[in-house]
C-alpha cells in the first residue's frame, strides 16, 4: 500500500515540529514555505559585524524540545545545546531601583526585599501558587485539546477545578498581584507576564499568574548559538526524518472534496495529500486558503494580541550594568496598556526590553561592542502611521535609556534595523502583525482560541501560535504534539486515499 502523505503549510517552529513527528510516524511529509528560509519569526541576520536574532528572544521549558527529539528517536544534544541563565531578567525603575530576578528563589527574594522592602514570604508564596496552578491546571490545558470530550472526562480535570480560585477567572492579573505583593515594583514585575501572550495585565485573568513559574521556578535558558539554533535544530531534525522542504513556495489554496482537505495548490499545481496541516495564522488559513470569508470574520470577534516594534542596534560600547534580558519600566504602566489596547497607539513613556546575546557569546558583536535587540509592546496594525510612530518611539526610547543609564545612548549606535507590525505581517503571515494571534484579555480567551482541527473540513489541522494552546515557542511546540496525536497513525487515513 502507498505511504500516506501529509502536507504542512509553513515552516515555523510548530510546522517543523509537526512535520518531524508525522514523518517519524511513517507519513511522507512535504512542507511548503513562502519564504526562502525556515523558522517563521525565529530567524537571524547580520549587519556590520553584529549578529541579531530577529524574533523571539526568551528560551524557557527546554523539555518541550527534549520531548520532541526523544519521541522521534533522536538525542537532543546531537542537534542543540543550551545552558542555564542565573538572572531571568534585570529590571530598571524610574525611581532608580534596580532588581535582578535571579532564577534562584532565595536570591531573588533577598534582592527584592533589599531593593524595595517586599517581604520574602510574599514571593515564596506567589511562586508556590504559580507552580500549583501550572501543575494542576495549566499543564493539562496546554497539553491537551480543549475541544475533545475525552479531555474533560480526564480525572485530572476535577483536580484542576478544585485548584482554580475565583480570582484566577474573575479578577485581573493586576488584581491578583495587588493582593499578593505590597510594593509597586513587585506588582509591576509580575504584571509584565501578561505580555508573554500579548495581553493586558489590567484586563487579562488572574490565571496568567502561573506564567512566572515557567521562568522563575523552572528556569531561564540560553541556546548556544542564539535563538536561531532552535530553528536550525528543528530543520535538521525534520530533514533527518525525511521531510521534504519546498521554499519560495506559497500555498495558494487548500483543495477540498466532499468536506475533506485533499491537498494544496502551489504555483498553479494541484498537490494531493491525505492530511493538510496549516502552520499559517488561522485567520489567513480560512480567508485565503479555505476561501471562507465568513468563518475568517468570525475569528475577528476576538481581540488581537499586541505586536512589537523592534530596533536592532549595533552598539560601539559595552554596558557592564546590563545583562542578557533587561527591562526599563514605564512610570505609568496602566496608562501604557490603555494606549496599546484601548487607543491603538503608543505611549510616550514605553516599557523598553533589551536583549543582548553578546553577553552570552562574545562573537555576536565586535570586540568591546554589543548587539542590542530593543523592543517595546505596541498595538496590532490597524492602519496606523507606522513611519511616524517609529520615529516618535525611537526618540522616546533613546530619551528614556539615556536618562536611566546616564549616557547619550544614540551616540553609540553604529548600525540600525527596524521591525514593525506591518513588516511582521508581511514576513510571517501573522494577521495585523499580532505576535500571539488573539489576546488573553477575557476570562474565556483560552477556550475561544481556535482548535487544532476543524469538524467543518476533515483532514485539515492547525498548529502554531494563532491556535490552541497559544503563542510563544513552548506553546507552539505543544501545539505540534497535540496535532500529531490528533492525526494519529498512518493506518487511520488509509481509507481516505484519493
Distances (CA, A) of 226 to 330, 361, 472: 28, 8, 16
pLDDT at 197: 87
Global pTM reads 0.93
Burial 408-424 (b: 16+ CB within 10 A, else e): ebeebbbbeeebbbbeb
As a whole number of angstroms, the distance between CA 99 and CA 327 comes to 10
The Cα 339–Cα 228 span in angstroms is: 32
Closest by CA position to 401, among listed 455, 322, 475: 322
Q: How far is CA 430 from CA 264, 421, 461, in A?
A: 20, 9, 17
pLDDT in tens, 54-93: 999 999 999 999 999 999 999 999 999 999 999 999 999 9
User: Can you tell me the distance from the alpha carbon of 461 to that of 279, in angstroms, rounded to the nearest whole number?
Assistant: 9
In 3-state terms, what secondary structure has residue 279?
Answer: coil
Quote the pLDDT of residue 152. Answer: 45
Tell me the C-alpha distance between 419 and 408, whole Å.
23
Measured between alpha carbons, how far is 228 from 54 in angstroms, rounded to an integer? 9
Question: Inter-axis angle of helices 184-191 and 120-133, to 10 degrees?
Answer: 20
pLDDT at residue 436, as a whole number: 81
d(CA 478, CA 495): 28
Q: Which residues contact 36 (CB under 8 A, 6 or more apart)?
A: 247, 248
**Grid cell 521549558 — which residue?**
61
357-391: buried (b, 16+ CB within 10 Å) or exposed (e) per residue? bbbbeeebbbeebbbbbbbbbbbbbeebebeebbe
What's the pLDDT score for residue 143? Answer: 61
Establish how many alpha carbons lie within 13 A of residue 224's alpha carbon, considering only the half-sphere containing its beta carbon.
8
Find the helix or strand (DSSP H, E) in which 391 lies.
Answer: helix 386-405
CA dist 64 and 14 (Å) reads 11
Each residue's pLDDT, cut to its tens digit, for the chain (498 residues) gives 589 999 999 999 999 999 999 999 999 999 999 999 999 999 999 999 999 999 999 999 999 999 999 999 999 999 999 999 999 999 999 999 999 999 999 999 999 999 999 999 999 999 999 998 888 776 667 666 555 555 545 655 555 555 555 445 568 999 999 999 999 999 999 999 999 989 999 999 888 898 999 999 999 999 999 999 999 999 999 999 999 999 999 999 999 999 999 999 999 999 999 999 999 999 999 999 999 888 878 877 778 889 999 999 999 999 999 999 999 999 999 999 999 999 999 999 999 999 999 999 999 999 999 999 999 999 999 999 999 999 999 999 999 999 999 999 999 999 999 999 999 999 988 988 988 877 766 555 555 678 899 988 999 999 999 998 888 999 999 999 999 999 999 877 655 555
Torsion-angle region of residue 459: left (phi > 0), alpha (psi -120 to 50) or beta? Answer: left
Kind of pairing between the strands at 44-47 and 28-32: unpaired
Peptide bond connecting 469 to the previous residue in cis, omega within 30 degrees of 0 = yes
| CB of 445 closer than 8 Å to CB of 439 | yes
pLDDT the model gives residue 233? 98
Q: Does the CA dihedral 121-127-130-131 come out positive or negative?
A: negative
pLDDT at residue 164 in the model = 58
Phi, psi for residue 346 in degrees, rounded to 5: -105, 150
Instruction: Report the run of H or E that residue 257 belongs to, with start and end.
Output: strand 251-257
Report CA 80 to chain centroid distance, whole Å.
20
Amino acid at each position: 500500500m502507498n505511504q500516506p502523505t501529509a502536507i504542512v503549510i509553513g515552516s515555523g517552529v510548530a510546522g517543523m515540529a509537526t512535520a518531524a513527528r508525522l514523518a517519524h510516524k511513517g507519513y511522507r511529509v512535504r512542507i511548503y514555505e513562502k519564504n526562502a528560509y525556515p523558522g517563521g519569526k525565529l530567524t537571524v541576520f547580520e549587519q556590520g559585524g553584529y549578529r541579531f536574532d530577529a524574533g523571539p528572544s526568551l528560551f524557557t521549558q527546554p523539555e518541550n524540545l527534549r520531548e520532541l527529539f526523544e519521541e522521534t528517536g533522536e538525542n537532543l544534544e546531537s542537534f542543540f545545546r543550551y545552558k542555564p541563565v542565573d538572572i531571568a531578567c534585570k529590571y530598571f525603575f524610574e525611581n532608580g531601583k534596580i532588581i535582578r530576578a535571579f532564577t534562584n528563589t532565595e536570591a531573588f527574594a533577598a534582592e527584592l526585599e533589599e531593593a524595595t522592602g517586599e517581604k520574602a514570604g510574599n514571593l515564596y508564596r506567589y511562586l508556590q501558587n504559580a507552580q500549583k496552578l501550572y501543575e494542576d491546571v495549566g499543564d493539562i490545558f496546554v497539553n491537551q485539546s480543549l475541544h475533545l470530550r475525552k479531555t474533560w472526562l480526564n480525572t485530572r480535570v476535577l483536580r484542576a477545578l478544585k485548584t482554580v480560585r475565583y480570582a484566577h477567572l474573575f479578577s485581573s492579573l493586576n488584581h491578583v498581584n495587588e493582593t499578593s505583593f505590597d510594593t509597586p515594583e513587585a506588582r509591576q514585575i509580575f504584571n509584565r507576564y501578561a505580555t508573554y501572550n500579548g495581553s493586558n495585565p489590567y484586563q487579562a485573568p488572574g490565571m496568567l499568574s502561573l506564567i512566572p513559574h515557567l521562568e522563575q521556578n523552572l528556569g531561564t535558558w540560553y541556546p548556544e548559538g542564539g535563538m536561531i539554533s532552535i530553528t536550525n535544530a528543528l530543520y535538521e531534525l525534520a530533514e533527518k526524518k525525511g521531510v521534504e522542504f519546498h521554499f519560495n513556495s506559497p500555498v495558494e489554496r487548500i483543495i477540498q472534496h466532499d468536506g475533506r482537505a485533499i491537498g494544496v495548490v502551489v504555483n498553479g499545481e494541484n498537490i494531493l495529500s491525505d492530511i493538510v496541516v496549516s502552520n499559517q495564522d488561522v485567520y489567513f488559513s480560512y480567508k485565503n486558503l479555505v476561501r471562507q470569508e465568513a468563518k475568517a470574520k468570525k475569528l475577528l470577534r476576538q481581540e488581537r494580541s499586541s505586536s512589537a516594534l523592534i530596533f536592532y542596534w549595533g552598539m560601539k560600547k559595552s554596558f557592564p550594568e546590563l545583562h542578557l534580558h533587561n527591562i526599563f519600566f514605564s512610570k505609568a504602566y496602566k496608562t501604557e496598556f490603555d494606549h496599546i489596547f484601548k487607543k491603538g497607539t503608543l505611549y510616550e513613556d514605553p516599557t523598553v526590553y533589551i536583549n543582548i546575546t553578546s553577553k552570552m557569546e562574545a562573537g555576536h558583536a565586535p570586540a568591546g561592542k554589543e548587539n542590542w535587540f530593543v523592543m517595546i509592546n505596541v498595538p496590532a496594525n490597524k492602519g496606523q502611521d507606522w513611519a511616524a510612530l517609529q520615529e516618535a518611539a525611537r526618540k522616546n526610547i533613546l530619551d528614556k535609556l539615556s536618562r536611566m543609564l546616564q549616557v547619550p545612548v544614540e551616540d553609540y549606535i553604529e548600525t540600525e534595523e527596524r521591525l514593525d507590525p506591518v513588516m511582521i505581517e508581511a514576513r510571517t503571515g501573522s494577521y495585523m502583525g499580532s505576535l500571539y494571534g488573539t489576546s488573553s484579555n477575557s476570562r474565556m480567551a483560552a477556550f475561544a482560541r481556535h482548535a487544532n482541527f476543524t469538524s467543518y473540513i476533515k483532514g485539515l489541522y492547525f498548529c502554531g501560535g494563532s491556535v490552541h494552546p497559544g503563542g510563544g515557542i513552548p506553546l507552539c511546540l505543544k501545539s505540534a504534539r497535540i496535532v500529531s496525536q490528533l492525526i494519529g497513525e498512518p493506518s487511520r487515513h488509509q481509507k481516505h486515499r484519493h
